Structure 1
Amino acid sequence: MIRQFERVFERQGAGFVGNVTIGEDVSLDALREAYDAVVLAAGLSADRTLGIAGEDLQGVHRAGQLTRALYEHPDAAPLPELGSRVVIMGNGNVAIDILRLLAKTPEELAGSDLGAAPSDWLTRSGIEEIEIVGRSPASAAKFDPVMIKELVKLEGINIRVLGADRSDDPEAAKKLAALEAINGHGCGARRITFRFGLTPIELSGPDDHLKEARFLDGKGNTVILPCSAFITAIGFGAEVGLPRDLLIGEAVDREAGVLAPGLYATGWFRRGPQGTIPDNRADAQRLASHILADFEGAAALPEKPGRQAFPDWAGAVGYHGWKRIDVAEISNAPENRCRAKIASRDAMLALALQKEEVSQ
C-alpha cells in the first residue's frame, strides 16, 4: 500500500500535503474555492457507540481507539489491560482484525510493524477466551469469508461456532461454509467462540469496572457473558469537521459520488463503513473516470490558485517530509520488525519539517 502511494506522489503533478485538518486549519469551502475539484476520501474513523447502559465502564473499549493505540498513533490513549475474557461486539472485518491481533503468539507477530511496546502488551495480555458476538445471523454477517478461513493459521487456539443459521443465498452460503470449516478447529488453550443473533442490552459490573455483558437472543431470552473487556467494532462515522450526513444527504448523485459541482466523495465516506480495500479501489477508479468526464469538453474555467491559496500552512508536511519519517522508521527497525514507529507527533514534525517544501 505504501509503495502505491509513493508511486503516485513521485509523479510530476501529484503532491502531498499532510498535517492539515479540515475544520481547523482550513474549511471545506476554502478548499473548494482554491481547487477545481475536491474529493472527500477521508474514510470514517469515529467509533460508533452502542447506546446502552454501561458503555462508560472501565473495561469497555472501541475498536478504532484500540487499533490506534496498537499501531502507536500519536493521539492514542495508552493501551488498556484487557484481562482474561474478552468480548468483541461486531461481525465485520474490523472485528476479525482485532481478533487476529489479540490471538497471535509472539512468534506470529514477528515481521509485523507493531512496535516493541504493543508487542509486549499483546504477549503479556493473559487472554484465555475471546468471544465474537454479532446482532445479525451468521448468514448476514459482514466479514470476508477469506479472513475467517485464515483463522486456522493461528497457533494455540481452539474455535467453536454457535448458532449459525442456514441460507440458500450464494453470498451467505460462502460465509456459512467458512464458519463451518473453522468450527472445532484446534486444541490450543486460547478459545475463540463465534455467537450470532444476540442484541446487547447492558454492560455491568461493580465499582465502575466491567464484569458481564447482557444480551437478548432472537427468542427474547437473556444471555449473560462474563467478561473482563468488551470491545465494540460496530462501525464508524465521520470525524468532526466534515458534515458527512449533510453532504451525503444533499448529494447531486450519491451513487456516482457527486456531492455538488466540483465536490466528490469515494470509499467509506461515500458508501458508509463497509467494503474492503479492493472495493474502495474500484470505487475510486469509477469516480476518477466520472471526474475526467465532467471536465472533458467543459467550458474553460477561471484558473484557481490551488496550494498557493494557503501560504500560512507553515506546519504542513509535504511528500519529502513524510518520506523522511518513513526512512527513519524503517532504518531503526529492531530485529523481526519491519519498522520502529515514531509515536510522538512533535518528533515526527521535527523530522518532517527539516527544510520542508510543500508543492501543489
Structure 2
Amino acid sequence: MRAPRVAIVGSGPSAFYAAEELLKAGVLVDMIERLPTPFGLVRSGVAPDHPKIKAITAAFEKILAAPGLAFYGNVEVGRDLDVRELAELYDGLVLACGASADAPLGIDGEELPGSLGAGAFVGWYNGHPDHRGLAVPLGAERAVVVGNGNVALDVARLLLSPPERLAATDIAADAAAALAASRVREVHLLGRRGPVQASFTPAELRELSRLEGIAVRVAPEDLELDPACQIELDMPHADNARKTMKLLCEIAAAPPRPAARRLHLHFRAVPAALLGRGAVEGIRIARTVLEGPPARRTASPTGETFDLACGLVVRSTGFRAPPLPGVPGDARSGRVPNRDGRVTLSGRVLPGLYVTGWMKRGPSGVIGTNRPCGQETARAVIADLAGRPVRSDPGFRLDALLAGRRIAFVDREGWRRIDACERALGAEAGKPRQKLVDPAALLAAARGRAEAAAVP
C-alpha cells in the first residue's frame, strides 16, 4: 500500500511534534519553512542566556533526520507556493506558521521611533533575518516594557544584563555590540492587572531576582489584594500564582540592595500614550482597577495617570498570526478556527486542511505545550487519511517543482552546512554558535561557500 504524503508549513516545535506522530504512522512528510533554518522560536525566540531550553533542538534534529521527512527551507507559502496548490498536491496540509506579528497597543505615539514590539526586539537579539539591523535606541538610562509574561521578563533581563553575562551565548553579534554600549540601567515593567494575574512563571522571576548586579523592586502597595483576588489566589489550580506572590512579597520586604541596574515591577498600570517629538521621550501610564469575579478579572482605567521619561518602549502584549491567503483566520485572537486541528470555515470542516501551534490555539504556552497540540492535529490527519484513498501523485517531488521555479531552497544537508558554519564561527569567539543573520550568508553557508563566514 502506498504511503500518504503530508506537507507541514513551518518548522517550530508544534511542526516537529506533528511530524513525529505522522512519521510513526508511516506518513511521508515534506516540511516547508520560510527561513533557511529550522526550529522556529526555539532558535529565534528563546533567550540566548537560556541554553538548556534550546537543547530541545537535539530531539528535533533526530526527527529532521528521519528518512520519511524532507526539509525545504527558504520557501515561502503565499509567495513561492500557494495554499490551494499544496492542498491539491498532498493528502493533507498542516499549517504551523506561528504568530509572528506583534499585537499593537492602539495608543497615541505608538508609531514613534523607539517604540518596538517584543517579537522584533527578541528576533533582533536572537539573529532572526527579518530583524537584522533593527534600530534599537539604547542611549537613555530608562526603558519601559509593557506586559508581564515570560517574554517581557526576557526583554527586561537582556536590557539589564552586563555585557560579560551574554558574551558566551549565541546572541547575535550586532545585538551584543549594541547592548554592550547601552546606557540603559533602569527598566520598568508594566502589568495591566495585579500580581495574582501575572503571566510570568515563578522560575523566571526568581532567576531575575538573583542575578548579580540587578536589583528587582516592587512597591508593597502594588501587592495589596482585594477580596476577589485573594479568592483567586486561594483556588486549587493557582500554585504558580501563590509561588509568584510569595516571591514578590519577599522582594518587596527585602531591604533595597545597591545595584547599578534596576528592574521596577508595576501592577495595575497600562500605557495611555507614548510621548515625544520625533522619537519616544516618555510614556504616560494610567492606573487601573480590577473588576469582575475571581479568575475572570478585567482591568479598567481609574482616570489617574503619571508620566515617566524613557527612550525605549517595548510592548510584549501578545502576537497575531499574519493572514495567509486561502486560510480563514480571526484577526482579534490571531487563531485559525479549527476543531481538534481541522480547519473550519463558518463551523464547517475544510477537508485536508489542518493547523497546529499558535495558529491553532493562539500565542500561549511553553515549548512543551506544543507536544500534545501537534500530536492532536497529527492524529486528526491520520484518522482522516484512514477513511480515504491516497490521492497524491506517486511521482510528485517538491524539489523538482521548486527547481523548475528557480527557487533556491535549503534542504536537510544545506541546514547541516549552515549549522556547522555557525558552530565553527562560534568556536572562534568562545560561543556555542555565531548565528548568520544575512539571508545571502545563510544561503552561501547552505551551499558550503566560504563567503558565508565573512557576512554574519
TM-score by length of 2: 0.72
CA offset digits 1:92-131 (Å, max 9, x no partner): 1211111121122223213310133322221221112100
Partner in structure 1 of residue 363 of structure 2 = 273
Aligned partner of residue 122 in structure 1, secondary structure: helix
Between 346-355 and 50-59, report the one with greater CA deviation.
346-355
Between 159-168 and 180-189, report the one with greater CA deviation.
180-189
Partner in structure 1 of residue 42 of structure 2 = none
Q: Distance in 2 between matches of 1:338 and 1:354?
A: 20
CA offset digits 1:160-201 (Å, max 9, x no partner): 123134432342323323433444474312111111111221
Aligned partner of residue 328 in structure 1, secondary structure: helix
1:285 Cα offset (Å): 2.2
Match of 1:239 among 302, 322, 336: 322
Partner in structure 1 of residue 264 of structure 2 = 193
Match of 1:129 among 186, 192, 199: 186
Partner in structure 2 of residue 80 of structure 1 = 136
In the alignment, is the contact (CA less than 8 A) between 1:199 and 1:216 conserved in 2?
yes
1:18 Cα offset (Å): 0.8
- Taking a change above 3 Å as real, the CA distance of residues 152 and 338 of structure 1, as seen in their structure-2 partners, is same
Match of 1:287 among 377, 380, 404: 377
TM-score by length of 1: 0.90
Match of 1:280, as an amino acid? Answer: N
Q: Which structure has greater strand proportion?
A: 2
In the alignment, is the contact (CA less than 8 A) between 1:88 and 1:131 conserved in 2?
yes
Q: Distance in 2 between matches of 1:7 and 1:197?
A: 45
In the alignment, is the contact (CA less than 8 A) between 1:35 and 1:306 conserved in 2?
no
Q: Distance in 2 between matches of 1:40 and 1:157?
A: 41
Match of 2:201, as an amino acid? Answer: D
Match of 2:208 among 151, 167, 173: 151
In the alignment, is the contact (CA less than 8 A) between 1:215 and 1:222 conserved in 2?
yes
1:5 Cα offset (Å): 2.3
In the alignment, is the contact (CA less than 8 A) between 2:270 and 2:285 conserved in 1?
yes
Partner in structure 2 of residue 358 of structure 1 = none
1:232 Cα offset (Å): 0.7
Alignment of 1:1-360 (within 5 A): 1-76=56-131, 77-82=133-138, 83-162=140-219, 163-164=222-223, 165=225, 166=230, 167-169=233-235, 170-171=237-238, 172-183=241-252, 184=254, 186-205=257-276, 207-218=277-288, 219-241=302-324, 243=327, 245=329, 251=337, 253=339, 256-259=340-343, 260-296=350-386, 298-304=387-393, 305=396, 307=398, 310=402, 311-312=404-405, 314-333=407-426, 334-353=428-447
Match of 1:80, as an amino acid? Answer: V
CA offset digits 1:297-339 (Å, max 9, x no partner): x232323436255542531111111111110010111333111
CA offset digits 1:256-299 (Å, max 9, x no partner): 11102221111111111111111122211222233223323x23
In the alignment, is the contact (CA less than 8 A) between 2:336 and 2:360 conserved in 1?
no
Could you tell me the percent identity over the aligned residues? 34
Q: Distance in 2 between matches of 1:267 and 1:144?
A: 20
Mark the runs of 5 or more structure 2 residues left unpaired by the alignment. 1-55, 289-301, 344-349, 450-456
Q: Distance in 2 between matches of 1:224 and 1:215?
A: 6
1:249 Cα offset (Å): 7.7
Aligned partner of residue 192 in structure 2, secondary structure: coil
Aligned partner of residue 101 in structure 1, secondary structure: helix
If asked which structure has higher relative contact order (CA below 8 Å, sep 6+), I would say 1
Q: Distance in 2 between matches of 1:347 and 1:340?
A: 12
Mark the runs of 5 or more structure 1 residues left unpaired by the alignment. 356-360
CA offset digits 1:210-244 (Å, max 9, x no partner): 22211221232112222111111111111243555
1:45 Cα offset (Å): 0.6
Match of 2:342, as an amino acid? Answer: V
Q: Distance in 2 between matches of 1:251 and 1:228?
A: 39
Count of aligned pairs between the two proteins? 351
Q: Distance in 1 between matches of 2:150 and 2:352?
A: 33
Aligned partner of residue 73 in structure 2, secondary structure: coil
RMSD: 2.3
Aligned partner of residue 231 in structure 1, secondary structure: strand
